[in-house]
Structure 1
Amino acid sequence: MARMTMIEAIRNAHDLAMGADDTVVVFGEDVGYFGGVFRCTAGLQKKYGPSRCFDAPINESGIVGAAIGMTAYGLKPVVEIQFADYVYPAYDQIVSEAARMRHRSAGQFTCPMVIRMPTGGGIFGGQTHSQSPEALFTHVAGLKVVVPSNPRDAKGLLLAAIEDPDPVIFLEPKRLYNGPFNGHHDQPVAPWKSHPLGEVDEGYFTVPLGKAEIRREGSAVTVLAYGTMVYVAEAAAEEAGIDAEIIDLRTLLPLDIDTIAASVKKTGRCVIVHEATKTSGFGAELSAQVQEACFYHLEAPVTRVAGWDTPYPHAQEWAYFPGPERLKRALLAVMEG
């Protein structure tokens, strides 16, 4: 076991995948010589050469389109979109080509590619470096969507994504890159400074896609969270003194509804928290599925706590995020239901 940040765990996963399989290639803007804007690919070009890890022009549609073509020739590309906010020019390639490859070819071709993207806010990046677009991808049949919350999961899920024969959208919460987040907003620039790094197995291992993890067992209310919001949920439950069961979804698509439903049927209550905008956010899909699976077990309405329905507010970034106080109020209100 080694102590790693999420950046180090992601870099280690790239290294192990490239060492184990010479069809794995890594490319994107500044990922080669520079090692990526967040340094997740640092050292890979030097170790594996510029034909296995290389830079691409500022052309997200071209990056994803080229990766799709590579899969048809037997390669397994792992591409980095520098920020999730930049993916929109490539959206048509992802939706119309990558997601449909297996089905439109009647199974003759698959599309084993991973599209990595730093997601969410917390670094004062402003409107075009802070968005959380996961709902745009969970709506697309043929994709898998992953959001890790800790270094170990980041490594294991990325290796599983690289092995997967279909396209995987891999969203990496920027606030978690340099260490676990404590859930509070009292240190907005680097709230992880005084907290331990993740314990990660240095060997090759995978975390299965489509399987959630119960991070905190409880009997009073189920909290569904992913990414950064797992830590907000933990902080809110502690502050409220509520015996909350916290489920880290890890994979949004396919969704582990079995684990979710078992928990909600036990607790009778459910609160959903995510950083993205509330309206049509992924929490809406979670709420619908919980209601369909657990209606006769619910003691109170399913509640969502999310970002504002507004363009990303640079000046009020830390008020925009769901924090422990907002989530605590929701937990207390659901417990009264």
Structure 2
Amino acid sequence: MTDDTPTKTMNMIQAINSALDICMERDKDIVVLGEDVGYFGGVFKATEHLQKKHGKTRVFDTPITECGIIGVAVGMCTYGLRPVPEIQFADYIYPALDQLVSEAARLRYRSAGEYTAPMTVRSPFGGGIFGGQTHSQSPEAIFTHVAGLKTVIPSNPYDAKGLLIAAIEDNDPVIFFEPKRIYNGPFDGHYGKPVTPWAKHPSSAVPEGYYRIPLGKAATVREGNDVTILCYGTMVHVTAGVVAESGIDAEIIDLRTLVPLDIEAIEASVKKTGRCVIVHEATRTSGFGAELSALVQERCFHSLEAPIERVTGWDTPYPHSLEWAYFPGPVRLGQALKRVMES
């Protein structure tokens, strides 16, 4: 990819669709399957037109059986295919945990490298649509605990396309979570309402052709010297909005992939700033922020000038009518930044 590569304005859904289309054109072994992904094009339209272009044998609907979707995908991997199953909402991925943990994640090791599981499980996750307890969960920490699985969470259209292509071409299983709250564009971090279309957002200029973003490489969204903020997905936008109004010279790191984790980028940033705030939408207890906090403490202890702060969702069942109070927002993040700067 060069500076003169043609680009097109896309939202995240369109970027994901483009990645799938390009990968299917390049590799005839790639198969897309899931509930309503075919004729209907997916509940969020991420697979729209793919069946018409690539055929019903490569893009097809499945019954409502998540364990069956992932089980079939594992079998496809052993046959030599490269499946991209969609779980319609991350909340419904739990019936497939056994297939993911006991089969997909262990296939390379159990077969001494004779077989791999080159599958990418796509799924919308997180809140933002008032979906309540069954359509809004953020279960990423569960998958980061499983040896053999990779976990990817993009925060913008440009990254979504490049990371998805890299995930599909990876020879190990990847969990690819898509933050539905920013599928169609950035939003007002205070109220969750869109404030500007992706067309005016820098990351909306997406190359039309093939490109990859390597898994395991974080992105520095904003450089700063006062405090490091670690975040991913939707929280990148919340954080950027708060920092812009705070007057604090914060460095914002978008992790992009949780496993593999770019610990070198995290360590370099925290050692420079001496402070660290971690932001994620999932519940606090055993959330991925706990792992990040432990890693920062182990590697950057002598550089820290204040306790590490975590700003997360609450340790409660996901609330329906109160979801905007559940999200880490400007008030709680602002308070955390104030505490670390005053320590």
The bucket for the TM-score relative to the shorter chain is: over 0.9
d(CA) in 2 for partners of 1:240, 1:196 = 23
2:279 to 273, 292, 296: 273
Indicate if the aligned counterparts of 1:185 and 1:191 stay in contact, CA closer than 8 A.
no
> After the TM superposition, which residues 311-326 of structure 1 pair with which residues of structure 2 at under 5 Å, given as runs?
311-326=317-332
3-state SS in 2 of match to 1:227 = coil
Whole-angstrom distance in 2 between the partners of 1:324 and 1:106: 49
2:134 counterpart SS class: coil
* Compared CA separation, residues 131 and 186, structure 1 to 2 (3 A): closer
Give the alignment of 1:161-180 within 5 angstroms.
161-180=167-186
Distance between the aligned counterparts of 1:253 and 1:172, measured in 2? 15
Please state how far the C-alpha of 1:325 moved relative to its aligned partner.
1.7
Are 2:207 and 1:201 equivalent residues in the alignment? yes
In the alignment, the residues of structure 1 paired with residue 188 and residue 80 of structure 2 have an alpha-carbon distance, to the nearest angstrom, of: 42
The answer to whether the 8 Å contact 1:98/1:167 transfers is yes
Q: Cα distance, 1:214 vs. partner?
A: 0.3
The equivalent residue for 1:38 is 44
Residue 146 (structure 2) pairs with residue 140 (structure 1):
yes
1:296 corresponding residue in structure 2:
302
**Which residue does 2:77 correspond to in 1?**
71
> Which residue number corresponds to residue 259 of structure 1?
265
The answer on 1:87 being equivalent to 2:87 is no
Question: Quick one: structure 1 residues 182 and 2, their matched pair in 2 at CA, closer, same or farther if it must change by over 3 Å?
Answer: farther
Q: In 2, Cα distance between the equivalents of 1:87 and 1:333?
A: 37
Q: Is the 8 A contact 1:138 1:252 kept in 2?
A: yes
Residues 149, 249 of structure 1: alpha-carbon distance in 2 compared, 3 angstrom cutoff = same
Match of 1:51 in 2: 57
Helix, strand or coil at the partner of 1:252: strand
**How many Å apart are 1:65 and its aligned residue?**
0.4
Q: Structure 1 residue 185 and structure 2 residue 224: aligned?
A: no
233-242 or 307-316, which moves further after superposition?
233-242
What percent identity do the matched residue pairs reach? 68
Aligned residues of 2:230 and 2:254 also touching (Cα < 8 A): yes
1:286 to 292, 295, 314: 292
1:195–1:236: structure 2 CA closer, same or farther, 3 Å change rule? farther
Alignment gaps of 5+ in structure 2: 1-6
Q: Where does 1:223-238 land on structure 2 (aligned, <5 Å)?
A: 223-238=229-244
Structure 2 distance, partners of 1:154, 1:204, is: 13
Name the aligned partner's letter for residue 126 of structure 2.
Answer: G
Please tell me whether the aligned partners of residues 38 and 60 of structure 2 are also in contact (alpha carbons under 8 angstroms): yes
CA shift, 1:19, in A, is: 0.3
Structure 1 length-normalised TM: 0.98
CA RMSD between the two structures: 1.1
Residues 140-189 of structure 1, C-alpha deviations (whole Å, 9 max, x = no match): 000000000000000000000000000000000001100123433262xx
Residues in 1 aligned to 2:339 and 2:205: alpha-carbon distance in whole angstroms? 36
Contact 1:180 1:196 in 2 (8 A): no
Whether 1:219 and 2:225 are equivalent positions in the alignment is yes
Deviations 1:194-223 (A, max 9, x none): 872511011100000000000000000000
Secondary structure, counterpart of 1:306 in structure 2: strand
**Is the CA contact 1:179–1:196 (under 8 Å) kept in the aligned structure 2?**
no
Match of 1:181, SS state, is: coil
Please state whether the residue corresponding to 1:141 is helix, strand or coil: coil
Q: In the alignment, which residue of structure 2 is the partner of 1:24?
A: 30
Q: In the alignment, what sits opposite 1:154? A: 160
Using the alignment, how far apart are the partners of 1:145 and 1:229 within structure 2?
16
Q: Structure 2: which amino acid aligns with 1:52? A: R
Preserved CA contact (<8 Å) 1:225 1:246 = yes
Alpha-carbon distance change, 64 to 186 in structure 1, aligned in 2, over 3 angstroms? closer
Structure 1 residue ranges without an equivalent (≥5): none
AA paired with 1:161? Answer: A
Please give the secondary structure, in 2, of the residue aligned with 1:330: helix
SS at match of 1:223: strand
**Separation in structure 1 between the aligned mates of residue 126 and residue 243 of structure 2, nearest angstrom:** 22
Runs of 4+ in 1 over 6 A off after TM superposition: none
Instruction: Tell me: CA distance 1:245–1:46, structure 2 relative to 1, closer, same or farther (3 Å).
Output: same
Do the aligned partners of residues 255 and 224 (structure 1) sit closer, same or farther apart at CA in structure 2, a change above 3 Å counting? same
Aligned partner of residue 127 in structure 1, secondary structure? helix
Correspondence for 1:123? 129
CA displacement 1:231-275 (0-9 Å, x = unmatched): 111111122210000000000001100000000000000000000
